[in-house]
Amino acid sequence: MKNSWKTLVIIIVTASLLLRTLPANPQENYLTGLNMEVEFAENGVARVTLKQHPFDAAGRSLISNTEVVERIIGEEDSILSLVLLFFTTDPSKTSYVVHSHSKLDPGEQVLCNTGTPGEMKRFEGAVTLTVDILLNTTSSLIPLGGDVYQIVVTDYFTLTDPRSWIDVMDFRFAGSVRLLNFSVDPSWAKPPSVASPARLQWFNMNEADAPDNYVLTLRIPGVVLSTTPLRLSAEVSGARFSNTTSTLQVGVRNTGGEEGVFTVVLLEEGFEQARKISLKPGAEAWVRFPVHAPDGGELVVKVYGGGEQLDEHRLTVTVEKPVENRFTMLSPIGLILMVTGGFTILLYLGERIKRQQSPEGTRAAKPPCEARFIMRPVSILLEQE
């Protein structure tokens, strides 16, 4: 027994020494500030530059951490796909040219909110990626007649993760491109801090401030529509209201032939909510909304895709009143106890009936048997005397 303990101690000490000498390369967790610049040029080319700056949970810059920077640069393919999804629902059908691959640029700056309410922190240095996108091969370009087009830019980061968003969105209009109008979705999103004929710029402190969709109406000369613009199609497939949680579940089905990103909007008096989903052709998904409307209130559900409304569904909230019945008010535990008790009583009654019907039970119930048991001790006493 003593030898076993000695062997165990030697193994533990040896393992500890080995662990101390083995190299440890844990990947450091980090957050990323995201700034995007989009310059719209003639002939329908959008030059997009994404700037990233890593920082830790305390808001300290990690741009000097070589390992973190190399990880960001190595993720260029996935980041590029996300950038394309800002302009199209199908990157495989989009024509683009990488103008400048991911690289560290010490001269760039990134603004983002690191947790302090109402404050944007300025970081020096950024990992930049620049790509030229041909808008006539995307689903974001919608012809309105002549040289006028509507362009819907979707913040795909908010769709993939509600904790992420573009901290600064900067639109610029070069050459003969003219800004005619703009709007955002949802309507409560923060308006731009800079709004001029040549530039629109948003500083988004959090996900609630950041628009999900930036809708621009531009005059762009020289655009050649080499492909048919993608037209998405979807419908509200169902709606379920829960009285218990006061929530509404809405089902949406992609009825078109193309994969797309859809925005589901719930309108009720004094409230407007939106959810985004990505659906393949024929696929269906359900989204959940908290409901504030009182009994009899009207709800309106709208589905948007490709910059236009695709479906609308209206329904009335009906709150079920509790039934005045003590059995329906029982808790689950109470119901279990009631059923268990009833089952026990039935078993007991069944056993009782069995005993009464059996021959042994019949004999045991006769008075002579009781008399015999009483008289027996008496006869024993007489014999002893």
pLDDT average, residue stretch 305-331: 68
H-helix segments, the chain = 2-21, 66-74, 76-85, 156-160, 332-357, 359-364, 367-384
pLDDT average, residue stretch 157-177: 84
**Residue count (the chain):** 385
pLDDT for the residue numbered 131: 96
Q: Output the pTM of the full model.
A: 0.58
Query: Predicted confidence band at 334 (pLDDT cuts at 50, 70, 90)?
Result: low
- Of 15-29, 50-64, 70-84, the poorest mean pLDDT is in 15-29
Average pLDDT, the chain: 80
Identify the residue with better confidence: 117 or 160.
117
Query: Mind listing the domains of the chain with CATH numbers?
Result: 31-219 (no CATH), 234-316 (2.60.40.10)
- Of 69-78, 102-111, 273-282, the poorest mean pLDDT is in 273-282
pLDDT for the residue numbered 304: 85
pLDDT for the residue numbered 9: 39
For residue 294, say if its preceding peptide bond is cis, omega within 30 degrees of 0: no
DSSP summary character for residue 43: G
Query: Predicted confidence band at 242 (pLDDT cuts at 50, 70, 90)?
Result: confident
pLDDT for the residue numbered 161: 64
* Neighbour-count burial of 339, counting CB atoms closer than 10 A to its CB (0-12 exposed, 13-18 middle, 19+ buried): exposed
Task: Tell me how many degrees the CA angle 56-156-46 measures, rounded to the nearest 5.
Answer: 105
Query: Predicted confidence band at 358 (pLDDT cuts at 50, 70, 90)?
Result: low
Query: Predicted confidence band at 112 (pLDDT cuts at 50, 70, 90)?
Result: very high
pLDDT for the residue numbered 276: 79
DSSP strand E in 220-357: where? Answer: 234-242, 247-254, 260-268, 271-279, 284-290, 298-305, 308-316
Query: Predicted confidence band at 117 (pLDDT cuts at 50, 70, 90)?
Result: confident
Residue 55, pLDDT > 50, answer yes
SS3 59: coil
pLDDT, tens digit, 9 for 90 and up, residues 126-143: 999 999 999 999 988 999
Half-sphere exposure of 339 (CA within 13 A, CB side): 7
* Neighbour-count burial of 363, counting CB atoms closer than 10 A to its CB (0-12 exposed, 13-18 middle, 19+ buried): exposed
pLDDT for the residue numbered 350: 73
pLDDT for the residue numbered 189: 87
